[in-house]
Structure 1
């Protein structure tokens, strides 16, 4: 998985949703993907209230990369780390 890649996620009801990978980061030895809903060129930009989706990257038994939902506490930890990373990158400019 790479930043800028668009991936398709499927929910419990088999509905497909496209998400753009906007960042990848490692927190406490685990890798995470930061995703936002993919926007078509003719659609409006994301609204401020839309949140990023954070999923943990793992490997399945066949060695394929899979995305795993997070518990609330883990989500908060990764969201804080990502916010800090964004603030650090913003201060470098």
Structure 2
């Protein structure tokens, strides 16, 4: 996967507010540039850092500016990003 030249880097941890107004820490697991936009694959930091063989949820966010994470708004964009990360992982 390509590394972003901005401020967001693999291993960074961000605190976000979930739908229940609870703070959640997410960790950047991977970065990928797709058609001029940079995307981050993230997971909940507490799940990522557990040393276990269990699967954990991975989410995709768009990086706006140098250090802002934004939700992917459309199903089409999500499908494109998901497929690109899966292809990059398979390499």
What's the TM-score bracket when you normalise by the shorter of the two chains?
A: 0.7 to 0.9
In structure 1, what is the equivalent of residue 71 of structure 2? 69
C-alpha root-mean-square deviation of aligned residues, in Å?
2.4
Corresponding residue pairs, total = 83
1:1-93 superposed matches below 5 A:
1-39=8-46, 43=50, 45=52, 47-48=54-55, 50-59=56-65, 65-70=67-72, 71-88=74-91
Query: What is the SS of the residue equivalent to 1:57?
Result: strand
Name structure 1 gaps, 5 residues minimum: 89-93
Q: Deviations over 1:22-52 (max 9, x none)?
A: 001100110001101112799563732x431
Q: What CA distance in whole angstroms lies between the structure 1 residues aligned with 2:29 and 2:48?
A: 16
1:20 and 1:42, CA in 2 relative to 1: closer, same or farther beyond 3 A? Answer: closer
Query: What is the SS of the residue equivalent to 1:33?
Result: strand
Confirm or deny: 8 A CA contact 1:22 1:36 kept in the other structure: yes
Query: Highest CA radius of gyration, 1 or 2?
Result: 1
Q: Which runs of at least 4 in structure 1 moved beyond 6 Å after TM superposition?
A: none
TM-score under structure 1 length normalisation: 0.75
